[in-house]
Amino acid sequence: MNAAIVGASGYGGEILVKLLAAHPKVTLKAVTSRSKAGQPVSSVIPAMRGILDDMLFENSDPAELAAREDIDVAVLALPHGAAAEYARHLVDAGKKVIDLSADFRISDPAIYEEFYGSAHPDVELLSRSQYVMPELSDDSWKQKDLFACPGCYPTSILIPLLPLVKAGIASKEHIVANSFSGASGAGKQSKEAFSFCEVNESAKAYGLPKHRHLSEIEEQLSVAAGEKVIIQFNPHLAPMNRGIATTITVPSNGNTIEQLYEEWDKVYANKPFVCILPSDTRPDTKYVVGTNRVDISAVKDDRTGNFVITSAEDNLVKGASGQAIQILNLWQGWEETTGLF
């Protein structure tokens, strides 16, 4: 399959280039970036030396990209708002699109506007898109042309929590999720707040009390529960390059830790990128960075009656680019693990 990566100069785009360049069933035909147009991919992404030496970054014009006959699928690694413009041109031209931005993650345009501060850029196209969490979405999504890839924080929360809420193993109320993300989650920015001296040896909360990813998390939990679910989500910036560690506290509804693990085992049987750890083992970002895996475990606090659930993932792989390729593999009927580990 011939692929293009649109907006490939950021951290997520760089991971996409590395993964798709090595994918045995994909030929990378175009890598675009307005800021890097004309520059060799191997000079901007030195890891591609000797691999993509003859490929240049192209100017990312949506109409020109859509008109190209040598592209079957485009992966968009663009900011919200900008992604919808490209998606419109590409879908109208008969291309398949996997979007890593927030533009098609939220089904309700009013919620999008509430959390992102502007009207949704293409409501008609939104109605034709499909949010895809590979482990949890049913197969009907494969009939669509435009797929929304889940966000990094939502993946770390929804993978362990959503099946439990859906099955009634965990409460739909009084849910608190604390997440710690590496600095790459903010993208490539020259802001003082993300300089080495500000981030190193320091951790702090941000985006309180209404981080943008909260909209996606609550919408997916509400769909699973069949009623409105509201949670407390507290994101933190951690002094590391990559990875997300999440701790979720949720009332157990009187259920046991054995019932929780039985539900996980049922839902994630034969799901290669979800690793269920024993109850006495905590997920660690050190062991998931560079992989498309999310590790999860849980304990029950008998004093409070709460489940305490933990997860760890690579925010750039399972939380973004790797998950996009996982979606591509499933959509094409390839082995889910093709080009990933």
254 backbone dihedrals φ, ψ, rounded to 5°: 80, 5
Residue 16 in domain:
yes
Q: Are residues 199 and 107 in the same domain?
A: no
**Residue 183: CATH number of its domain:** 3.30.360.10
Of 68, 97, 131, the residue that ends a domain is: 131
pLDDT of residue 125: 96
Q: Are residues 283 and 171 in the same domain?
A: yes
Q: Are residues 204 and 119 in the same domain?
A: no
- pLDDT reading at 65 higher than 70: yes
E strands within 80-142?
Answer: 96-99, 129-131
Share of the chain above pLDDT 90, in %: 88
Residue 249 in domain:
yes
pLDDT of residue 189: 64
Residue 257 in domain:
yes
Residue 110 in domain:
yes
Q: Are residues 298 and 160 in the same domain?
A: yes
Q: How far apart are the first and last CA of the chain?
A: 20
Q: Domain of 100?
A: 2-131
Residue 145 in domain:
no
Closest CA to 311 of 171, 172, 174, 177: 177
Find residue 301's DSSP bridge partners.
306
Q: Are residues 228 and 81 in the same domain?
A: no
pLDDT digit string, tens, across residues 275-302? 999 999 999 999 999 999 999 999 999 9
pLDDT of residue 199: 86
- pLDDT reading at 98 higher than 70: yes
Catalytic-labelled residue, pool 149, 152, 197, 275: 152
pTM: 0.94
Q: Are residues 26 and 170 in the same domain?
A: no
Q: Are residues 183 and 59 in the same domain?
A: no
Q: Are residues 57 and 168 in the same domain?
A: no
Q: Are residues 125 and 191 in the same domain?
A: no
Residue 126 in domain:
yes
Q: Is there a contact between 219 and 108 (Cβ–Cβ < 8 Å)?
A: yes
pLDDT digit string, tens, across residues 321-338? 999 999 999 999 999 999
Q: Are residues 166 and 68 in the same domain?
A: no
- pLDDT reading at 190 higher than 70: no
**Residue where the block lists tokens 């291309």:** 95
**Residue 26: CATH number of its domain:** 3.40.50.720
E strands within the chain?
Answer: 2-6, 27-32, 57-58, 73-76, 96-99, 129-131, 146-148, 175-181, 204-205, 231-237, 244-251, 274-276, 294-301, 306-313
pLDDT of residue 186: 76
Query: How crowded is the C-beta side of 71, counted as CA atoms within 13 Å?
Result: 27
Is 234 strand, coil or helix?
A: strand
Q: Are residues 179 and 46 in the same domain?
A: no
Find residue 57's DSSP bridge partners.
31
Q: Is there a contact between 239 and 199 (Cβ–Cβ < 8 Å)?
A: yes
Question: Looking at residues 253-263, what average pLDDT do you find?
Answer: 98
Distance in angstroms (rounded) separating the CA atoms of residues 131 and 133: 7
Tally of domains in the chain: 2
Share of the chain above pLDDT 70, in %: 99
Q: Are residues 110 and 59 in the same domain?
A: yes
Distance in angstroms (rounded) separating the CA atoms of residues 224 and 207: 25
Active site (annotated) includes residue 149 = no
